[in-house]
Chain A
Amino acid sequence: MASSSSKVQLIIDGKRTDGRGQEDLRNLRIEVGVIPEADGSSYVEWGGNKIVCGVYGPRECIPRHEASPYHALVKCRYMMSPFASLEEHSRSGPSRRSTELSKVIREVFENLVMSEKFPNTQIDVYIDVLQAEGGTRTASVTAAAVALANAGIPMKDMVSAVAVGKAGDLLALDLNKMEDNFGQSDMPIAISHRDRKILLVQMDGLLTRDEIAKILGMAERGCDQVNRIQADALRRFYERGEEESVRW
Chain B
Amino acid sequence: MERRIVLPGEKISEGRLNAPNTYYDSGITYAAVIGMMDEEGRYIPLENRYRPNVGDVVVGMVTDVRHAGFEVDLRLPQGGFIPTRDVRLTLQLGDFVICKVKSVNEVGDVDLGEVRRLPKGKIIEFPSAKVPRLIGKKSSMLNLLKDYVGGDLMVGNNGYVWASEQSDMPLLLAAIMMIEKKAHKHGLTDEISAFLQSQRGERPAGSRESGEEGQTAQGEEEITGEGYGKQQF
Contacts and interface: CB of A to CB of B under 8 A. Distances in A.
Does B bind A? yes
Assign chain B's interface to a size class: 20 to 34
B198 to A, nearest CB: 18
B129 A158 contact: no
Contacts of B77: 57-61, 118, 120-121
A154 B78 CA distance: 19
Contacts of B182: 241-242
A68 B134 CA distance: 35
Interface in A145-164: 149-158
B33 A153 contact: yes
B122 interface: no
Contacts of A242: 181-182
Interface string A95-128: 0000000000000000010100111110000000
Given A40-B47, A149-B33, A150-B47, A195 B181 contact: no
Contact of A156 (B21, B32, B36, B46): B32
B124 interface: no
A201 B229 CA distance: 48
B8 interface: yes
A89 interface: no
Interface residues of A, number: 37
Nearest to A40: B47
Scoring B21, B78, B106 by chain A CB atoms within 10 A of each residue's CB, the highest score goes to: B78
Contact of B10 (A39, A60, A194): A194
A221 interface: no
Given A234-B34, A241-B185, A243-B181, A117 B9 contact: no
B21 to A, nearest CB: 6
A69 B46 contact: no
Contacts of A241: 181-185
A193 interface: yes
B173 interface: no
Interface string B38-49: 000000011111
Given A60-B77, A150-B34, A241-B183, A157 B9 contact: yes
Contacts of A152: 33-34, 45-49, 129
A238 B46 contact: yes
A88 interface: no
Contact of A193 (B9, B32, B107, B181): B9
Interface of A: 39-40, 57-61, 69, 112, 114, 117-121, 149-158, 192-195, 231, 234-235, 238-239, 241-243
| 6 shortest interchain CB distances as A-B pairs | A152-B47, A157-B9, A154-B32, A155-B8, A121-B77, A194-B9
